[in-house]
Structure 1
Amino acid sequence: MPEIIFSGPSGRIEGRYHPAKDKGAPIALILHPHPQFGGTMNNQIVYNLYYTFVNRGFSALRFNFRGVGRSQGTFDHGAGELSDAAAALDWVQSVNPEARNCWIAGVSFGAWIGMQLLMRRPEVEGFLSIAAMANRYDFSFLAPCPSSGLFIHGEQDRVAPLREVISVIEKVKTQKGIQIEHEVIPGANHFFDGQVEPLIATVDSYLDRRLGPAPAKEAE
């Protein structure tokens, strides 16, 4: 799990990168929760998503948004963080010029950033949007959504109530040729406390359907 530093719009960005053995392997970019509420690339969901993709042979990158950890800059209410994510995708693509495609996974605030990024990057083939805060951020830009993907939410989410996310998903589902799936984790809150294992199992099941069964796990 090599530590990396790459250039971003506000200076250096700190990340963790795991290159795939196959030069043509797809890319996975994982985006962490809200920087002002303790969100970092070491968030347990982000960490587990990272290795979920690594174990499927992806080149995976997770990183700290500006002002978090050793990443330079200050919180920018989403606009700067979207630029950080674009810079991260640029960097991982630059070291994987033969990559066939890309997936984006975002958690909470990171889900909002990730969905904005996929609207701008046609190479993004799929997405995972976990605990999307549809009650606090505008997701109306997903019309139409250019990629198929999965929304996952906790049944007991009090931060971003389930009904708010469902209303967003129902709008996106009407777009032709795009399949948006939605899973609810019983008993889970916004942070999936004590429920990370069933969350990742749900992600794995979805990726099995989209990509085929995962190969034998690589050593971490």
Structure 2
Amino acid sequence: MPEVIFPGPDGRLEGRYHPQKNRDAPIAIILHPHPLYGGTMNNKVVYNLHYAFHKIGFTCLRFNFRGVGRSQGEYDQGIGELSDAASALDYLQSLNANAKNCWVAGFSFGAWIGMQLLMRRPEISGFVSVAPPANQYDFSFLAPCPSSGLIINGSADRVVPPADVVGLTDKLKQQKGITITHKVVEGAGHFFDPGMDEMIGTVDSYVRQRLTETTR
């Protein structure tokens, strides 16, 4: 899988780019957890999400936010990281101008960034938010949430209490014109160890179903 370096708003960003042979393949960007707590693009959840999307048929990009790995810059409270994500999506789109579908997936802090990116980029047609930190960040900007997606968390998550995720999904489900699917992996903690296979399987079946619906 090619290592890529592309321009970000605060210097270069380091990523892993995984193209499909089909030039019309859908594209997906995968966002990692909090940079100050060891989050990188090689986090197990992020890595497995990346490969799940590629297996489905997506051209994928995951990358390190500013200040992580070989990405330049410093942590910026989520503001700069959102700009990094927008630059990463620009880069991915520049390489795949024919892509008919664009998705964003994020884990924990990355889920929060991904949902903000969703609000800025109308071309994003679906999202996967894994363990969105509804107890730590305000998600009220999702008013209205512009596209349907999957929210998934573990029942034994001690970092993001399941009740907070339920509160977030209940609010989003009240909005008209979109469908929010919420799945809980029983016994899984924040990092889905155990529970990784079930979580990835749920993502796989959800995304495949959505793609089938859009191609009918």
TM category, shorter: over 0.9
The alpha-carbon deviation at position 208 of structure 1 amounts to 2.7
Residue 81 of structure 2 corresponds to which residue in structure 1? 81
Which residue in the other structure is 1:71 paired with? 71
RMSD over equivalenced CA pairs, Å? 1.1
For 1:106, what is the secondary structure of its paired residue? strand
1:39 Cα deviation (Å)? 0.6
Runs of 4+ with deviation above 2 angstroms: none
More helix per residue: 2
1:182 aligns with: 182
Aligned match of 2:45: 45
1:84-123 alignment, distance < 5 Å: 84-123=84-123
Deviation of the 1:82 alpha carbon = 0.2
Deviation of 1:210 after TM superposition, in Å, equals 1.2
Q: Would the aligned equivalents of 2:56 and 2:204 in 1 still touch at CA under 8 Å?
A: no
2:24–2:99 contact (8 Å) kept in structure 1: yes
**Does the Cα contact within 8 Å between 1:13 and 1:65 map onto a contact in 2?**
yes
Assess if the C-alpha contact under 8 Å between 1:30 and 1:49 holds in 2.
yes
Following the alignment from structure 2 to structure 1, what is the Cα–Cα distance between the partners of residues 158 and 48? 23
Matches within 5 A, 1:167-206: 167-206=167-206
Amino acid corresponding to residue 131 of structure 1 in structure 2: A
In structure 2, C-alpha distance between the alignment counterparts of 1:195 and 1:174, rounded to whole Å? 29
**2:59 corresponds to:** 59
Structure 2 spans left out of the alignment, 5+ residues: none
TM-superposition CA deviations, 1:109-162 (whole Å, max 9, x none) = 000000000001000010000010000000001111001000001101111101
Counterpart amino acid of residue 106 in structure 1: G
Report the CA distance between 1:194 and its aligned residue.
2.1
Which whole-Å CA distance do the structure 1 matches of 2:47 and 2:154 have between them? 18
Residues of 2 paired with 1:58 and 1:204: CA distance? 12
Shifted more, 52-61 versus 129-138: the winner is: 52-61
Aligned 8 A contact 2:23 2:98 in 1: yes
- 8 A Cα contact 2:82 2:117, kept in partner: yes
For residue 124 of structure 1, give the secondary structure of its aligned residue in structure 2.
coil
Gaps of 5+ in 1: 213-220
| Residue identity opposite 2:105 in structure 1 | A
Deviation at 1:202, TM superposition (A): 1.1
Q: Match of 1:52, SS?
A: helix
**Partner-residue secondary structure (3-state), 1:83:** helix
**Within 2, Cα distance between the matches of 1:48 and 1:7?**
25
- Paired with 1:97 and 1:141, the residues of 2 have a C-alpha distance of 29
Match of 1:215 in 2: none
Report the 3-state secondary structure (helix = DSSP H, G, I; strand = E; otherwise coil) of the residue aligned with 2:167: helix
CA displacement at 1:20 relative to structure 2: 1.4
Query: What TM-score comes out, normalization by structure 1 length?
Result: 0.95
Letter in 2 for 1:103: W
Q: Distance in 2 between matches of 1:209 and 1:23?
A: 21
Equivalent pairs counted in the alignment come to 213
In structure 2, what residue type is equivalent to 1:198?
E
Find the residue that maps to 2:152 and give its secondary structure: strand
Task: Give the TM-score normalised by structure 2.
Answer: 0.96
* Structure 1 position 193, deviation (Å): 1.6
Percent identical across equivalent pairs? 66
Partner Cα distance (2:20, 2:205) in 1: 21
Q: Secondary structure at the match of 2:145?
A: coil
